[in-house]
Chain A
Amino acid sequence: DTAVSQTPKYLVTQMGNDKSIKCEQNLGHDTMYWYKQDSKKFLKIMFSYNNKELIINETVPNRFSPKSPDKAHLNLHINSLELGDSAVYFCASSQGDSHNAEAFFGQGTRLTVV
């Protein structure tokens, strides 16, 4: 059973479109994250969310928004896609109330904006 799963794995779309990437974890964790990996492979936190708070990286454009229907899901919505949004997006989860908790990552979604 996959611990953290993302769909789709690949997404090609045109500029200006709105798209969503889904993430689900079956680990019973209460904290989920979204990271963006740029072309130089650097992983940068976008959002962290648990049932208590949403932490947003201030550099993330407000075209990006996380939506959590329940503790096991954190979906990423992107409005008005731009060429610079092309990257690999990773979802992760951990037990947020424990600072010692291990983080588990999904396999990534490669987004290409054309």
Chain B
Amino acid sequence: KQEVTQIPAALSVPEGENLVLNCSFTDSAIYNLQWFRQDPGKGLTSLLLIQSSQREQTSGRLNASLDKSSGRSTLYIAASQPGDSATYLCAVKAGGSYIPTFGRGTSLIVHP
């Protein structure tokens, strides 16, 4: 059974810092990994999708990498802004299942 872990659970930083959020998974036979953002009381917004054949994906100030052999993905946020404050979730499809399995998220607060 796939287990997805996100570290840290919570993060509070001043504006302008570069951040790294971590996601690890136990079944390395993944199909893809997706990073989502969830604002308080809102739904899930897809940020980046990395296929198993890819090493990284970039969108604006966001960069996500994938290392299947070590069972890890990192989400890098450059020059953080208060508007980046949200919960970040990673979801993994693996092991013969097309059902995404979620981590518990990293709650990020960026102070002005």
Task: Show the binding face of A for B, using Cβ within 8 Å.
Answer: 31, 33, 35, 40-45, 48, 55, 90, 92, 94, 96, 98-108, 110
Within 8 Å by CB of B99, from A42, A48, A107, A108, lies A48
Determine if B104 and A45 form an interchain contact, defined as CB atoms under 8 angstroms apart: no
Q: Would you list 26 pairs from A and B whose C-beta atoms are within 8 A, ordered by A residue?
A: A35-B102, A41-B38, A41-B104, A41-B105, A42-B104, A42-B105, A43-B91, A44-B102, A45-B99, A45-B100, A45-B101, A48-B98, A48-B99, A94-B98, A98-B98, A99-B32, A99-B93, A100-B32, A101-B98, A102-B32, A102-B46, A102-B49, A103-B34, A106-B43, A107-B42, A110-B41
By size class, the interface of chain B is 20 to 34
CA of A96 to CA of B99 in the docked complex: distance in angstroms?
9
B24-36 vs A, Cβ < 8 Å mask (1 yes, 0 no): 0000000110101
